[in-house]
Structure 1
Amino acid sequence: MEPAFTDRWQAGERLADRLEDLRHRHPVVLALPRGGVLVAAPIARRLVAPLDLLLVRKIGAPGQPELAVAAVVEGNPPQTVVDEALCLHTGADARYLADQERQALVEIARRREHYRRGKPLPPLKGRTVIVVDDGMATGTTMRAALRGLREAQPAAVVLAVPVAAPDSLALLEGQAERIVCLSRPAGFRGVGAHYRDFHQVPDSEVMDALAAHDRAARAGGPLDASPD
């Protein structure tokens, strides 16, 4: 079957088509790094919106690092969401989770310093916040992100992802005022299977996308951070 998306940027352009009605609400766009940044950049450009990061770290199952059994999101205090059923199934016990949570917090602190020079999230109280990732498998990472955001008291939270497992989306109903998902394949095979180009995104590419967006915003021109 042909992948639904050429790459993350094209997926973001298609999401932006579905989110243009929010432009008048002056939203803030928050991306889950790293891959979510490349999806979020064209959305923020189209909506003439600030672009920032929501720092979340997935905790993978023992021996299966890509299978999220929990996730930690930045905040004061940080929030952790645990998938109890998956933990039981994969043998991720309390000791394992505690150790992985400590490592996740170290990595979140590193990314905060690297990406934002240690600055916290911008004020979100009373704002419309669009949370973006490049896809969603178990939904555990996104649940952590949405839980953490509630502490910031936004006026509304919009979840935007190009592709997601239908059952994971169902678990998030009611946790965002609006969910925009372009593809909900019944035969979900993992996020990467739905992109022709799903390369590992390095820190440098994240920084380039954020810097390009900031330069365009300061210049007052079109917020075009396209890699092309």
Structure 2
Amino acid sequence: MSRSSSPLDTPGQFPADSPRPPLWNDRAAAGRELAAQLQGWHGDHQALVIGLPRGGVAVAAVLADALELPLSTWAVRKLAHPAEPEVAVGALAPGGVLLWDEPYLQQQHLPLELRRQLVQEQDQELQRRQRLFADPPAAALRGRHLLVVDDGVATGLTARAALTSLRRCVPSRLVLAVPVIDQEVARRLESSLEGLVDGLVALARVERLTAVGAWYRHFEQLDDASVAALLRDRLPGSPVRPG
């Protein structure tokens, strides 16, 4: 989420060559379009699609079906500002990965004790989701080709936390695939200085992306039961359903 407003935050005001929302009817439609750009992954026996819960799993499930690949999840949690729940100030991922938006936090003077409380609360939720969705152990990802999928990337905090955590699992290939991403975040992720990803596939790169949901006509929040249903027939080792 952007920290400040700009003319690009106003509906209908985009550069002439910029995509305009909405682009997809729902996450499933975005997943099908994304899969069409990733045919080189089709049937790769070393590959695993990793959906980031919750919304990313709805995109990843359709993509995994189309590419005939197994699907799993990888827990990651946004650390939200207590007074503004939609504003990400940090992110938490397995393996002790903790990222903060330090410049923003310095402006807001968020006390250290409050930071610790946020981390403790979200770490409990992260562990709950790891158990509930049966995230794979890190050792099972070593040497694999990982295709990490979310429904969109705005600030990049949760995506970077997830990718940092997955990179520590030593996959042989780590690629992020998303329908829509903030242009500047994409530049940073692709920078050789970051070294987080071996590739980034995005259908739309948007200057100052503020709301991922605006790019979908239907963007309902998924609950745990919905994610579990998407995963049920697509877990690693289960028969892969053709797209």
- What TM-score do you get using the length of structure 1 for normalisation? 0.88
Post-superposition shift, 1:187?
Answer: 5.2
Q: Which residue in 2 is equivalent to 1:172?
A: 189
Q: Which residue in 2 is equivalent to 1:183?
A: 204
Q: Which residue in 2 is equivalent to 1:158?
A: 175
Task: Single out whichever of 84-93 and 204-213 deviates more from structure 2.
Answer: 84-93
Q: Which residue in 1 is equivalent to 2:217?
A: 196
Q: Which residue in 2 is equivalent to 1:105?
A: 123
The 2-side partners of 1:211 and 1:122 are apart by 22
Post-superposition shift, 1:128?
Answer: 0.8
1:62 and 1:92 in contact (8 A); partners too: no
Post-superposition shift, 1:2?
Answer: 4.4
The CA deviation string for residues 68-107 of structure 1, in whole angstroms up to 9 with x for no partner, is: 11111013xx211112112223333322221111111100
Q: Which residue in 1 is equivalent to 2:151?
A: 134
The CA deviation string for residues 137-158 of structure 1, in whole angstroms up to 9 with x for no partner, is: 1000011011101110000100
Q: Does 1:208 align with 2:229?
A: yes
Could you say which structure has the higher helix fraction? 1
The 1-side partners of 2:136 and 2:144 are apart by 19
Unaligned runs of 5+ in 1: none
Q: Which residue in 1 is equivalent to 2:137?
A: 120
| Displacement over 4 Å in runs of 4+ | none
Q: Which residue in 1 is equivalent to 2:35?
A: 16
Q: Does 1:36 align with 2:53?
A: no
1:166/1:221 CA distance change after superposition, 3 Å: closer
CA RMSD of aligned residues (A): 2.0
1:32 and 1:56 in contact (8 A); partners too: yes
1:72 and 1:80 in contact (8 A); partners too: yes
Unaligned runs of 5+ in 2: 1-19
Q: Which residue in 2 is equivalent to 1:6?
A: 25
Post-superposition shift, 1:122?
Answer: 6.5
The 1-side partners of 2:50 and 2:220 are apart by 21
- What TM-score do you get using the length of structure 2 for normalisation? 0.83
Letter in 2 for 1:102: Q
